[in-house]
């Protein structure tokens, strides 16, 4: 599968936006993602799951968090994200933390 630039238009990285600056703390990333209804994809396996639990416990919500397993290739990650986009509904990932690839 060849993915062009249009596929990646929907991606936002830390530092791309003034309200998502480099060095932003995890709790603030979760608040941003909730506010703009964006899923998070992260390598942060150590702190993000705990902050997500706290965020949800404090009555926050999340469109969903996808945590990338160590050793995953870019190809595997893209394949899973494309599958998620086409084979599921956004509500299925709400307030969840899912390791990818599956």
Domain count, the chain: 1
In a domain, 91, yes or no: yes
The answer to whether the beta carbons of residues 101 and 76 sit under 8 Å apart is yes
Q: How far is CA 17 from the centre of its chain?
A: 16
- pLDDT mean over 43-56: 96
Structure tokens at 72: 């995953």
Average pLDDT, the chain: 90
The pTM of the full predicted model, rounded to 2 decimals, is 0.87
In a domain, 1, yes or no: no
In a domain, 84, yes or no: yes
In a domain, 15, yes or no: no
pLDDT tens by residue, 54-90: 999 999 999 999 999 999 999 999 999 989 988 999 9
Domain range spanning residue 59? 25-100
How big is the chain, counted in residues? 102
> Which of left, alpha, beta for 4 (phi over 0: left; psi -120 to 50: alpha)?
beta
Residue 35's pLDDT is 95
């Amino acid at each position: 599968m060849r993915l062009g630039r249009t596929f990646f238009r929907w991606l936002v990285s830390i530092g791309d936006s003034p309200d998502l600056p480099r060095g932003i703390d995890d709790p603030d990333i979760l608040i941003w993602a909730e506010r703009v209804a964006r899923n998070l994809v992260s390598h942060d396996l150590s702190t993000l799951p705990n902050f997500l639990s706290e965020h949800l416990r404090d009555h926050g919500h999340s469109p969903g968090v996808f945590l990338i397993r160590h050793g995953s290739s870019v190809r595997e990650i893209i394949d899973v994200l494309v599958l998620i986009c086409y084979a599921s509904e956004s509500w299925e990932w709400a307030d969840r933390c899912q390791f990818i690839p599956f």
